Amino acid sequence: MENITIIKIGSNVLVDELGKIRNEILENILLSVGNKIKQGEKIILVSSGAIAVGKHIFDEEVDKRLSASLGQMRLMSGYLEIGEKLDLKVSELLLSRPYLVKRELFLQLQKTIDIMLQKNVVPIVNENDALVVGSDWSFGDNDSLASALAIAFSADKLLILSSVDGLYKTDPTKDESAELIKKVENVNAELMKYCSKEISTSGRGGMISKLKTIRLTTAVGIETQIINGLKKEQIVQALNNEEVGTLFSARKMKGEIKNRDRWILAAKSSAASIEVDNGAVGALGAGKSLLAVGIKKIFGEFNKGEIVELVNLKREGIAFGVVDIDSKDLIHDDFKNQKGVQVMHADNIMVFA
């Protein structure tokens, strides 16, 4: 299916400091979405906000799972009420990581959302926080979930609605003269220095999380844009491909990405990464498997069957693949002498650089 846009809406955009839904902002988003659907486009929303709403229902601090459960009801009620007002059909999907990691569930998810989009129904997706928050089944944040969906559905664009205007060279909350970066051709490690490591007030993401998401989506040909969702005009401008916020250019792909490769990328389940030498980079580019002798360093830990990112000596992402061995079974201080040890098979590697 063509003409798909994924819109990720941050908690600080939808919910105010008192836990109330910003109905004017939500209506503006849905009105803009409805107009694009009338023009033949397909939209998937990834909506944060449930925890931000739910945590204010009690006078005392409560568990995030309870906040998510209470808040999700109220959040979706807001979507439904405004959707009906605008004659826009909306549906709800609560996901957890197995829906992307397990291939049969991944294919079922694609079929389900395709049916919705064909009927001009707007899927509103959120993580099933009430059950998986803080567990291995969690995506960690909705930036990662939005990225996974953009890849799974071969989206043309990922639009991230934040409470700031985009990516700045310095922290705009601390530096009034902070300069907005309007366009980024390539997301690399150098950009990380421009981002605050602090987590956003209401959500679990932050600019670092967004950059990691964008680094992957742009690598597989998906244009990505961060805008200020609190400024009503910006979503219309962004959906009309106008210059607003920060635009991250998509890399040109050599060929079409197979659906199985999309599954491998969308299901990325490990935060670990493997740094490989130049020889391994060349071998991977030629369609070869990854052997232990080509590894320079391992960051984090991974288990057999997980999907791990491969980076070059500049720490730039070059591929993702399914590992055939646990990280603990590799000798980390002597990779060169582990000849013949296969870490990833060529059939399970997706090279994008």
- Predicted local confidence at residue 141, as pLDDT: 86
User: Tens digits of per-residue pLDDT, 44-96?
Assistant: 999 999 999 999 998 888 899 999 999 999 999 999 999 999 999 999 999 99
Q: Which CATH architecture has domain 4-248?
A: 3-Layer(aba) Sandwich (3.40)
Could you tell me the pLDDT band of residue 204, with boundaries at 50, 70 and 90?
very low
User: Tens digits of per-residue pLDDT, 275-329?
Assistant: 999 999 999 999 999 999 999 999 888 889 888 889 899 877 788 888 999 999 9
Smallest Cα–Cα separation from 143: which of 69, 232, 295, 248? 248
What average pLDDT does the segment 119-129 reach? 95
- Alpha-helical regions (H) of the chain: 11-14, 23-38, 50-54, 64-85, 98-101, 103-118, 129-132, 142-152, 207-219, 232-239, 259-266, 278-285
> 139-143, 191-195, 264-268: which range is least confident on average?
191-195
Asked if 14 and 71 touch (Cβ cutoff 8 Å), the reply is no
Beta-carbon count within 10 A of 28 CB: 20
What average pLDDT does the segment 221-238 reach? 95
- Predicted local confidence at residue 182, as pLDDT: 93
Smallest Cα–Cα separation from 208: which of 219, 195, 217, 218? 195
Residues of the chain with CATH 3.40.1160.10: 4-248
pLDDT at residue 257 tops 60? yes
Tell me how far apart the alpha carbons of residues 189 and 119 are, in angstroms, rounded to a whole number.
41
> 87-91, 196-200, 218-222: which range is least confident on average?
196-200
What pTM did the predictor assign?
A: 0.84
- Predicted local confidence at residue 45, as pLDDT: 98
Mean pLDDT of the chain: 88
Asked if 285 and 292 touch (Cβ cutoff 8 Å), the reply is no
Most confident of 122-126, 133-137, 339-343: 122-126
What three-state secondary structure class fits 344? strand
| CA 141 to chain centroid | 8
Residues of the chain with CATH 2.30.130.10: 270-351
- Predicted local confidence at residue 95, as pLDDT: 94
pLDDT at residue 208 tops 50? yes
- Per the CATH hierarchy, to which homologous superfamily does domain 270-351 belong? PUA domain (2.30.130.10)
Cα angle, residue 191 at apex, residues 163 and 165 outer, rounded to 5°: 20
User: Tens digits of per-residue pLDDT, 180-190?
Assistant: 999 988 776 55
- Predicted local confidence at residue 262, as pLDDT: 84
Looking at per-residue pLDDT, the higher value among 254 and 150 belongs to 150
Identify the residue whose tokens are 């916020």: 245
Q: Assign residue 44 a region (left: φ > 0; alpha: ψ between -120 and 50; beta: otherwise).
A: beta
Which residues on adjacent β-strands are paired with residue 351?
319
Instruction: Please state, for a pLDDT cut of 70, what percent of the chain lies above it.
Output: 92
